[in-house]
Amino acid sequence: MSQTVAFLGLGVMGGYMAANLARQGYTVQGWNRTPQKTGVNIAASAGVQIVPTLEAAVTGAKVVFSCVGDVPDVEAVLLGESGAARYASPQTLLVDFSTIGSQAAKTIAQALADQNLSFLDAPISGGDVGAKNGTLTIMVGGREADFQAALPYFEAMGKTIRLCGPVGSGQAVKMCNQILCALNLVGICEAMILAEKQGLDPQIIVEVCGTGAAGSWALSNLGLKVATGDFTPGFMIKHILKDLRLVREIAATARQELPGVALAEDLFKRVEALDELAREQGTQAMMRAYRN
Amino acid sequence: MSQTVAFLGLGVMGGYMAANLARQGYTVQGWNRTPQKTGVNIAASAGVQIVPTLEAAVTGAKVVFSCVGDVPDVEAVLLGESGAARYASPQTLLVDFSTIGSQAAKTIAQALADQNLSFLDAPISGGDVGAKNGTLTIMVGGREADFQAALPYFEAMGKTIRLCGPVGSGQAVKMCNQILCALNLVGICEAMILAEKQGLDPQIIVEVCGTGAAGSWALSNLGLKVATGDFTPGFMIKHILKDLRLVREIAATARQELPGVALAEDLFKRVEALDELAREQGTQAMMRAYRN
């Protein structure tokens, strides 16, 4: 049974990740709170065994992966009354891919350690495309031995995989990552709106600025979408808002003002308030704040 | 004499650019307001003929390049009492590399056209390294025929060379470029200060975030400098402050609020107010605003 793993949370991200584990030959017991979801189908088609209960997923699993959402979801799935900790064998390694902040990760790790279970926080970036293609960036916090044990699995799901420090460190790096994503977008929105006011072709901005000191992944991949109003989600506004809330909490604890983050959060909230659709539009819909 | 060109303004940027023209076999008549400067020496060592007066530089030149600084400098060098327009032969093409905003470029182009002279605005990016290696990005505004005439010279100095539209369009793109540079830096400063507060190695941020959706030229090239306090100038705070002032003027004319630009400008001004050194530190010294 050493190759059997559990995957809890088969949203689009989790579905693709579980699918990539199954394709590498692992026996993956997949569970999702809501059975009828796109991610569940993606996982099932790749050979993930979809099971009806969390208990059935965790039983016999050497490693338990989870990818669920916000702090309360992770706590419920790992530590709740019917959570993974209740059904996992002693010494089992639990790896959580959700973005929940360092403090929550440390608290969860301690609660699991008290039950003789190991934990890695392993938030990811790279979006649904990265999850599908197995090219995610995986930012890991925890013990070296646990990281080494999880590495073969990570390699089925990601490309840039890095142990960043003790438990919580993956989350800490992810917070910095989200700050960069949010501020890069502020720059793109303001550059694109000024390009428009000056009568410039936005493609010129992407091509000319993208090759030099102003270049970024975001400009190359989201620049034209910002300019043309293509707000199809890669990463949704509701998710960056959750992440920036976590960033704000950490900054408040550290008594560090982050005026750029505050601005980005304000812009996303203004977009969120525009209509029902906004929360599930891509982060590039920040541009709507400049058009309203 | 068809291969003779003038180069007005031999600062570090202009010095390297004139040097690259000379290395391509052009006869370059170089002039600088202040004769004893690093850039003058750079140009002279590469074979640029340093001449004592602007008149001597412009006389007999088929194309007159200028790279001088702010709007009044460009106006003085091109249109002033002893400016290039006075000494240039009819039909001469004048090309200015300074960042001066679209409106000034259009005004200068009109004044030169009245004297039967052609004009291209051609602001650059890529810093002293790009100027030295001939890998600048050159954003050009003007007529297609003038652009084609200047292209062989541009190719001696730059790598990404693009006609962006009519006169003023090079400036317009440069404004967008500077917005992107400024906001990318806000993100890097806030990510690095939060990394520090969380006890992370800044190198991990550069390596892990740099490969994914948070990546940028600025993170790869300035990230560690921000974190470690290496404020050696690539591009100086006083220069980005000039550029952001121009951006603000354009935005005001267009009645477009740019809160991110306002924040970046405020941060740079706070650094500028710290001490005498600050103005000539690199833009990555924005980090000092977060440490004070």
CB–CB contact B102 A198 (8 Å): yes
Q: At what angle do helices A169-197 and B259-272 cross, to 10 degrees?
A: 110
Residues of chain B with CATH 1.10.1040.10: 172-291
- Percent of chain B predicted with pLDDT > 70: 99
Question: Has residue B149 got a pLDDT over 60?
Answer: yes
Q: Look at A214 and B263 and tell me if their CB atoms are within 8 Å.
A: no
From the list B126, B165, B208, the residue facing A164 with the nearest CB is B208
Percent of chain A whose pLDDT exceeds 90? 93
Q: Tell me which architecture the domain covering A172-291 has in CATH.
A: Orthogonal Bundle (1.10)
Which pLDDT band, with edges at 50, 70 and 90, does A140 fall under?
Answer: very high
**Average pLDDT of the segment spanning B50-54:** 97
Whether B1 has a pLDDT exceeding 60, the answer reads: no
Rounded to an integer, the average pLDDT of A130-142 is: 96
Average pLDDT for A53-63: 97
CA distance B9 to B68: 5
Residue of A nearest to B140 (CA): A208
Joined tokens for residue A131: 């999850």
Say if the ipTM goes beyond 0.90. yes
Q: Which of A160, A200, A219 faces B211 most closely, judged by CB atoms?
A: A160
Is B214 in Cβ contact with A195 (below 8 Å)?
Answer: no
Cβ distance B39 to B16 under 8 Å? yes
Interface mutation target, options B13, B183, B192, B200, chain A, most CBs of A under 10 Å: B183
**Catalytic residue positions of A, numbered:** 174
Are A208 and B247 an interchain contact pair (Cβ–Cβ within 8 Å)?
no
Calculate ∠ Cα B24-B28-B34, nearest 5°: 130
Residue A1 reports pLDDT greater than 50: no
Closest residue in A to B164 (Cα) is A204
Q: Of the residues B62, B106, B132, B174, which is catalytic?
A: B174
pLDDT band, very low/low/confident/very high, at A292 (cuts 50, 70, 90): confident
Among partner residues A181, A211, A216, which is closest to B137 by beta-carbon distance?
Answer: A211
- pLDDT above 60 (res B260): yes
Q: Which of B125, B165, B201 sits opposite A200 (nearest CB)?
A: B165
CATH 3.40.50.720 residue ranges of chain A are 4-165
Average pLDDT, chain A: 96
Whether residue B2 has pLDDT greater than 60: no
Between A and B, how many residue pairs show a Cβ–Cβ distance under 8 A?
A: 243
pLDDT score for A120 = 98
pLDDT at residue B246 greater than cutoff 80: yes
pLDDT at B127: 84
Instruction: Please state, for a pLDDT cut of 90, what percent of chain B lies above it.
Output: 93
Query: B62 near B150, Cβ under 8 Å?
Result: no
CA neighbor of B92 nearest in space, from B100, B84, B102: B84
DSSP-assigned beta bridge partners for residue B236: B282
The pLDDT of residue B238? 96
What is the C-alpha separation between A287 and A227, in angstroms, rounded? 8
Per-residue pLDDT band at B273 (split at 50, 70, 90): very high
Q: How would you classify residue A272: left for phi > 0, otherwise alpha for psi between -120 and 50, otherwise beta? A: alpha
A219/B254 touch (CB, cutoff 8 Å), yes or no: no
Q: B107 vs chain A: nearest CA distance in angstroms?
A: 16
pLDDT (tens digit, 9 = 90+) per residue, A152-209?
A: 999 999 999 999 999 999 999 999 999 999 999 999 999 999 999 999 999 999 999 9
Share of chain A above pLDDT 70, in %: 99
User: pTM of the entire structure?
Assistant: 0.94
Q: Per residue in B55-81, pLDDT tens?
A: 999 999 999 999 998 999 999 999 999
Distance of CA B72 to the CA centre of its chain: 16
Mean pLDDT, to the nearest integer, of A78-84?
A: 96
For B260-270, what is the mean pLDDT? 98
Indicate the CATH number of A4-165 among 3.40.50.300, 3.40.50.1100, 3.40.190.10, 3.40.50.720.
3.40.50.720
Q: Chain B residues with CB inside 8 Å of A181's CB?
A: 187, 213-214
When pLDDT is averaged across residues B10-14 and rounded to a whole number, the result is 94
More confident residue, B271 or A37: B271
Show residues of chain A in contact with B183, CB under 8 Å.
Answer: 183-184, 186-187, 190, 260
At A146, the pLDDT band (50, 70, 90 cuts) reads very high
CB contact under 8 A, B191 and A177: yes
Burial of B88 (0-12, 13-18, 19+ CB in 10 A): buried
pLDDT (0 to 100) of residue A128: 86
CA distance B161 to chain A (A): 8
CA-to-CA distance for B60 and B57, rounded, in angstroms?
8
For residue B114, the model assigns a pLDDT of: 97
Candidates B157, B158, B147, B123; CA nearest to B235 is B123
What per-residue confidence (pLDDT) applies to B212?
87
